[in-house]
Structure 1
Amino acid sequence: MRRVYFDYAAATPIDPSVIKAMEPFWALRSANPSAIHQEGVLARKAVEGARSDIAAILGVHADEIVFTGSATESCNLALFGAVKAWQKIHPDRRAHVIVSAIEHDAVLEPARKLEEEGVRVTRLPVDASGIVDTRALKAAIEEDTVLVSVMYANNEIGTIEPIEDVARIIRKWKKEVRGVTRVGKPEGDEHYPLLHTDATQAVNYCALHIPRLGVDMLSMNAAKIYGPKGVGLLALLRDTPIAPITIGGGHEGGRRAGTENVPGIVGFAEALRIARKMAEKESARLALIRDHVISELKRLNGLVVNGDEEKRLPNNVNFSFSNIDPSSTARADYPSNRTEFATGHSAAGHEFLALQLDAKGFAVATKSACNETDAETSHVLKALREADGVNGPTSGIRISFGRATKKEQVSDFIETLEAILGERG
């Protein structure tokens, strides 16, 4: 059976050009970049060259790039680091953080942890398409708001958020409340609130010039852009207050301790270069495939397309069946009979449908691969259902496309899905 991979939102294969760029640093140039000998100097030069290349693409200075081990770590550094820095100068005040309700757990879990530690957290609602409520943001910002974190594009439903609008709202608040009108080095509370965006899913397709986006911090990783796993970055503008959350060395300008992953960083830079070069053409190609799939899916009984159909990543389709019972094993219009993973984990509803598709050769997802708990409930879809006031499905199927995806593959997918539904209907 020929396998078809429709889970590019979870991970992408490494581009051959990226492997070629990394190869010298696995063996001949594998020195510690902090070492003072010639091998170490060469490794340092490779890291700094990659840093400069990435910074140029993002429209920032090289010293505004902090390499990490993942986008999750980058998001943790943004949230914990920003709050920690604020608390140092305001030990007697209670910090406030704003996040959207549909963030990746890399943001939501740090927010929950901060809440446990006494930080006030506001979770912004979204509309039925997953667009963040900017009116709620305006109402939520206050004197002790340290950080606003709104993702650039959602990893489950592909909705692209209005980051530039969010940035304008924050700038307007700073001007009206703090009197910040100049461009230059901010002082004291003029920094706040900071704006962070998790751009992990957007890098392959969306505009990525940080000054134009208006954000203070941006997280991303290489694994989603046909680069190596185990390397990410946090871009943060100069003078952005941040405290390290890992200590034990002066790496990354004292902002992230730990020996740099030289081959990973070199591969990251090459992957980003290729991704940005291909962005426009690949976005147009995949958007045609996406729209074809959505059009075909809408013919199926009980189907709901999740997310905004226009402000959407070109490689993402997320759908649910309103007639799938997510918990009961009893037959419904579409039964939710259960099956067992090799691990003994049971599956029902949309997760079971994903396994049926897998058995037919299609690798799809039900939600974020980083969240394996409560498999039949998506906090993203739950937020969408709350917004439209409909008691609809809170689980679904995500198919995400990539460079190797062909139109004939999606046609085969639709036929296979229809056959599965027909067999079980």
Structure 2
Amino acid sequence: MNDRIYLDNAAATPVDPRVLKAMEPFWAKNFANPGAIHKEGVAARKAVEDARGKIAALLGIHADEIVFTGSATESANLALFGAVEAWRKTHQNEIPHIIVSAIEHDAVLEPARKLEGAGVLVTRLQVDARGMVSLVALKKSLTKNTVVVSVMYANNEIGTIQPIREIAKVIRKWKKEIRGVTRDMKPEKAVNFSEVAPFKAKERPQAANDARYPLFHTDATQAANYLDMHVPRLGVDMLTMNAAKIYGPKGVGLLALLRGTPLEPLVVGGGHEGGRRAGTENVPGIVGFAEALRITREIAEKENARLVALRDYAIGELKKIRGIQCPTLRIDPQGRTLYSDLVVNGDEIERLPNNVNFSIQGLDPSSIRPRRNYGSGHEFLALQLDAKGFAVATKSACNETDAETSHVLLALRRANQSGGPQSGIRLSFG
């Protein structure tokens, strides 16, 4: 009997049995390459395109506006690098500019740093003490050379939900005032993936003008289980997702890319995905992705209610905790026992239904006495909880081995005049 309690669903979810069942035929029976022209290849291609159509319908977009990738990280990289490269091809003597929030996942922040090193101007929008971006600051940051704005839908550490629709309105209003855009651009012709010729970079159409800029990208990886995922309602040009966060398989992600959005591929070497991402499609993964998203959207309302009740109960109980004895605190000069209070991080209302993030103030890196071989502070607490049978996280699993301080909590700390924690514990229910 498994007596462990898994509270790290923001990092990975188990694959739903129905998803496994949908994927099973494509491991050993229908295993053909979807690019092949024989009967088996055509069957594999049909499975991919059926899945693409199902996902597109759930997101409210056209099938050719879905680009399958290997992960949400790859999708975010494609969105940023691809958008900037497309802009540079038509603005060779100008310096591109991008805007990202300070609490983005490293899948966005690291590409931004790399682009900055290559001469791109980068604005990092700071957040308030709840983790919310400022619409006023966003508007002030927009320039005629702004290529893309990237603000995540919901934060992976503290669960704060950003006002994506309002951000989209700010960008649209700016386009109207500065660019003279009064309506949506006419979309390009749909792509028939079964008839795509081998991709040649020199043949890629170029943006005719600047009317589409800035593009708006959102990382919706953590939002897909719970929030509105209708792309046109959100008002974004690009949206990234990952199957592994919605009870689907690892190793498959997507970039929702509206027709006519200027983008250059990161990976070349074939005409896959309409020339936007080369590489043989992961047929079982894509089929599983579609089934996972179908199930997720079907049960979202009921699951949200269940998880909100669980989340709010957990937060309520945590708030009752006062005066925690912290054996890892630095020695008090008078030799007294030291105690610390527990604080909940992030917005308590605009928050993912499954997220709880808290800190014990005395366990911050600046306050602790490290314990050899066991880490320190909240990391040490996470290991203690693990030993007791609870799987929790201190931050994103993608950078769990880095320094214990969280860039997300540091951003909140900067916004809080009275300071705040630099690290914490994340509980993510499922």
> TM-score w.r.t. structure 2 length?
0.89
- The Cα of 1:2 is off from its aligned counterpart by 1.0
CA distance in 2, matches of 1:183, 1:392: 43
Map 1:410-421 onto structure 2 (within 5 A). none
The one-character-per-residue Cα deviations of 1:306-350 (angstroms, maximum 9, x if unpaired) are 0000000000000001122425654xxxxxx5252xxxxx51000
The one-character-per-residue Cα deviations of 1:262-301 (angstroms, maximum 9, x if unpaired) are 0000000000000000111000100000000000001112
CA distance in 2, matches of 1:275, 1:338: 42
- The Cα of 1:190 is off from its aligned counterpart by 0.2
Matching of residue 241 in structure 1 with residue 262 in structure 2 = yes
Matching of residue 5 in structure 1 with residue 38 in structure 2 = no
- 1:327–1:348 Cα contact (<8 Å) kept: no
CA distance in 2, matches of 1:325, 1:218: 34
- The Cα of 1:134 is off from its aligned counterpart by 1.1
The total of aligned residue pairs comes to 391
CA distance in 2, matches of 1:376, 1:395: 7
- 1:351–1:375 Cα contact (<8 Å) kept: no
1:414 matched residue in structure 2: none
**Residue in structure 2 matching 1:386, options 414, 417, 429:** 414
CA distance in 2, matches of 1:294, 1:391: 21
Matching of residue 194 in structure 1 with residue 233 in structure 2 = no
SS in 2 for 1:318: strand
2:352 matched residue in structure 1: 313
SS in 1 for 2:148: strand
SS in 2 for 1:123: strand
Which one-letter code corresponds to 2:362 in the other structure?
N
The one-character-per-residue Cα deviations of 1:72-128 (angstroms, maximum 9, x if unpaired) are 000000000000000000011000000000000000000000000000000001110
CA distance in 2, matches of 1:376, 1:118: 30
Which one-letter code corresponds to 1:212 in the other structure?
R
Q: 1:198 to 1:396 in 2, by over 3 A?
A: same
CA distance in 1, matches of 2:421, 2:99: 27
- 1:94–1:120 Cα contact (<8 Å) kept: yes
CA distance in 1, matches of 2:395, 2:418: 20
Matching of residue 355 in structure 1 with residue 388 in structure 2 = no
Q: 1:218 to 1:329 in 2, by over 3 A?
A: closer
2:49 matched residue in structure 1: 48
> TM-score w.r.t. structure 1 length?
0.91
The one-character-per-residue Cα deviations of 1:354-398 (angstroms, maximum 9, x if unpaired) are 000000000000000001343320000000010112332110000
1:286 matched residue in structure 2: 307
Unaligned runs of 5+ in 1: 331-336, 341-345, 403-425
Matching of residue 338 in structure 1 with residue 371 in structure 2 = yes
Which one-letter code corresponds to 2:48 in the other structure?
V
2:195 matched residue in structure 1: none
The one-character-per-residue Cα deviations of 1:115-168 (angstroms, maximum 9, x if unpaired) are 000000000011100011111100000000000000000000000000000000
- 1:164–1:212 Cα contact (<8 Å) kept: yes
2:31 matched residue in structure 1: 30
2:129 matched residue in structure 1: 128
| Seq. identity, % | 73
Map 1:22-421 onto structure 2 (within 5 A). 22-185=23-186, 187-301=208-322, 302-327=341-366, 330=369, 337-340=370-373, 346-402=374-430
Which one-letter code corresponds to 2:321 in the other structure?
L
SS in 2 for 1:242: coil
CA distance in 2, matches of 1:292, 1:358: 22
Which one-letter code corresponds to 2:358 in the other structure?
F
Which one-letter code corresponds to 1:314 in the other structure?
P
SS in 1 for 2:363: coil
Q: 1:91 to 1:373 in 2, by over 3 A?
A: farther
Q: 1:43 to 1:105 in 2, by over 3 A?
A: same
- 2:364–2:422 Cα contact (<8 Å) kept: no
- 2:364–2:423 Cα contact (<8 Å) kept: no
SS in 1 for 2:244: coil
- The Cα of 1:257 is off from its aligned counterpart by 0.4
CA distance in 2, matches of 1:166, 1:242: 21
- 1:317–1:398 Cα contact (<8 Å) kept: yes
SS in 1 for 2:236: coil
Which one-letter code corresponds to 1:81 in the other structure?
G
CA distance in 2, matches of 1:261, 1:373: 29
